[in-house]
Structure 1
């Protein structure tokens, strides 16, 4: 289990390192363009912010690490490492999952209710025989 935790830790560090290196390289390229006079400083700042945002979005979309905590202590440790933004996203995901589960439960219950009513009602043949 420790090897799995170490592997996940390395995977997360690789993703973070990649994002950092990409951000650094993009800043260097922008600085070079500014020096050459091809971009103004303001355009470079805006472009750099856009690149950082795009990198973050790409990482969120493409890097999916699932961590299975087998004990409450491990889960607590994971939660302590999360940023407030990540915790807020986790809360939102939990809320969405709860709503989805409730909707599925309501759908299943509504589909079962007519079936039970049909089973409880006497058949038309039985009603005719009773007359």
Structure 2
């Protein structure tokens, strides 16, 4: 890789530190490719890494905000939330089971033929 590892690390760290958007980081990488400091393949790889890190950071922020909101709930509100989540889990499991039934029936029909 022509781009030195410290520069690559700086770019990756800059994503979190400077909150560089995925679009902006793509522009930077594209510029490096045009200047010949990265190959097209290295640019694609770096873009993918930056995209993944941005998604991870966004998920981390959402999780932190949600944890903060939950921590502010009263015990009664947390119990109600738990009940709602349990119901949602049950409905999700029931929906998944319904989706699996046709597949099982098709497999049985194929074996019977």
TM bucket (normalised to shorter chain) is 0.3 to 0.5
TM-score, normalised relative to structure 2: 0.42
Please say which structure displays the higher CA radius of gyration: 1
Normalising by structure 1, we get a TM-score of: 0.37
